[in-house]
Chains A and B, each alone.
Chain A
Amino acid sequence: MTRRDTAEPLPASFRDPSGFVFRDDGTVYRQISDSYAATYEHIVKSGFYRAAMDAGELIRHEEIDPESLSVGAGAYKILRPDQVPFVSYPYEWCFGQLRDAALLTLALQKRALTHGLWLRDASAYNVQYLGGRPVFIDTLSFEAYPEGRPWGAYNQFCQHFLAPLTLAAYVDIGFLKLLRTNLGGIDIGLASRALPICTRLRLGLQMHIHAHGRAVAKAVAKPEASADAREAKLSRNALLGLVDSLQSSVAGLELPTSKTIWGDYYDETNYSSAAHEAKHSIVERFVARVQPRTAWDLGANDGRFSRVASAAGAYTVAIDGDPAAVENNYRDVRHRNESHMLPLLMDLANPSPSLGWASRERDSISQRGPADLILGLALVHHLAIGNNVPLPKIAAFLAGLCRHLVIEFVPKEDSQVARLLATREDIFDDYSENGFEAAFATRFRLLDRAAVADSARTIYLYEAIVD
């Protein structure tokens, strides 16, 4: 048996017969099928791949000898793309990340057209974050531009990008959460109904969402529409105009500046600057001891402590549930050109599950682990008291995600915990330093601990016990 028979496509790679993605010995490869061979050669000759890779828009790849992997006959080419250290999904991105992914998709469509090609789909799942920036990963999404045809991915672009971004900008940032349930994007008819009337005064939004939504609904109620659609025409200039108009519409969307729970957390904390500095140096010391290659900072806020890990060379995923905090972090990443930091939006009390076809298309957060190190600073009291999760359950969850853990215990005497308890009955008898240590001792081996000066807090360095 050749190894090709055992090179199973990854669970998300099954929709496109042009090829698939598989993993061999920990490395991800892309197989190009014979059916895409002519298109692939045409694209290579057009110079598009080289130009898009040089511009940093398309993930870099190199062709490798199929024989070196013993993938057997039938595979036209095998590509080894740059490896993505952490796969994230659009429903985990903040507004700015989704908008940048949208603009990247449109820029690639324009670039493709200059090479006589176009994008045959515009899924947000074709984009990943790599080196702090969005990069298009689906190398096989391009084909020769069939002059005169309407863009088949126009509706998909509007559903995956324009509708959620517009709803977030004009109604509520919470609409981005809909992307977790609506993996095909947000229906533009739904978006049109939910958007305020002022969006009809913006030409781009009026066209691409409101009028577009009406046209889609009208066609669904008209059986003869299918035949009409087969004959539909769109000139090259009209297509360029369409893409240009989408670019202006997306680029013009901004979040209203609103105060969220955590957006200005560090300005409202109860830390003294001495406690803050002490905490920083403890985290630095523990990170240096672990020397992680990958780190997840859970409850990262704007990534202040995540940067201790990224500065030490770890590819750091900074996860927080507050859209404003993640937005701020992402802006910093772009502004400082940070390559080792990936801010993500996720509620840790309800983390990303596995989703999609057969519930295997998109990985849960735990399937993407374990991380070499998890930072859980000022986190436990939110889970234990804010969400009523018993300490042993928190320990078990974290032990399944990481090899090492730096975690801060914030006792009831701390004013932040007192604030959480102000509106709750104190049913948390086990919530004490002793209770915390007992719960974590069942899942972790204690390597070190340090009291944070000028505060009642303690930071622990643990190693997960492997069953």
Chain B
Amino acid sequence: MTPATRDKARCAAALGLPLALLASVPLPAYAYIDPVTGSFLFQGIVGAIAGGLYLIKVNWRKLKQLVAGKPGAEETPRQDAVD
């Protein structure tokens, strides 16, 4: 999609679609559903991804040691320079 067509699509979305939706969607029937509802349900999905990444992050050192095959080895700062 070129920037121009994207702009047009955005204009249509900004001007046309909301009006069309307003005209066609029976909003009052759903007006009692709090937007947080979707947020609650969504957290199950995003939490699985973010939680997995978090586990990797907090266990990164252990994972690295596991892959490098040096279980239990402590990382120590290199001391190549003469003090």
State A193–B29 Cα separation when bound (angstroms). 25
Q: Please, how many angstroms separate the alpha-carbon atoms of A240 and B14 in the complex?
A: 36
Are B54 and A225 in contact (CB-based, < 8 A)?
no
CB neighbors of A among B1-55 (8 A):
6, 10, 13-14, 25, 29-30, 33-55
| Residue-wise interface mask of A (193-231) relative to B, using a CB-CB cutoff of 8 A (1 in contact, 0 not) | 100010000010001100110011111111101101100
Any chain B CB within 8 A of the CB of A239? yes
Q: Which residues of chain A are within 8 angstroms of B52 by Cβ–Cβ distance? A: 241
How far apart are A350's CB and chain B's nearest CB, in angstroms? 25
Main secondary structure of the interface of B (DSSP, over half): helix
Is there an interface contact between A221 and B30, defined as CB atoms closer than 8 Å? yes
- Chain B contact-residue range equals 20 to 34
* Interface size band for A: 35 or more
Segment among A48-56, A151-159, A267-275 that sits at the interface with chain B: A151-159
CB of B61 within 8 Å of the partner chain = no
A155-B39 contact given A237-B51, A242-B51, CB 8 Å threshold: yes
Cβ contact of A207, chosen from B13, B34, B36, B49, cutoff 8 A? B49
| Chain A 142-161 interface 0/1 with B at a Cβ cutoff of 8 Å (1 = within) | 00000000111011101000
A242: which B residues are within 8 A, CB to CB? Answer: 43, 46-47, 50-51
Contact residues in A for B57 (Cβ distance below 8 Å): 244
A238-B36 contact in complex given A215-B41, A223-B29, C-beta closer than 8 Å:
no
Known: A220-B33, A223-B29, A226-B37. A235 touches B51 (CB 8 A): yes
Q: Which of A216, A226, A241 contacts B51 (CB 8 A)?
A: A241
Return 25 A-B CB contacts under 8 Å, by A number.
A150-B44, A154-B43, A203-B49, A207-B49, A211-B45, A211-B46, A215-B38, A216-B35, A216-B38, A216-B39, A217-B38, A219-B37, A219-B41, A220-B33, A220-B35, A220-B37, A225-B38, A232-B41, A232-B44, A234-B43, A238-B43, A238-B47, A241-B53, A244-B54, A245-B46
Residues in chain A within 8 A of chain B (CB atoms): 150-152, 154-156, 158, 187, 193, 197, 203, 207-208, 211-212, 215-223, 225-226, 228-229, 232-235, 237-242, 244-245
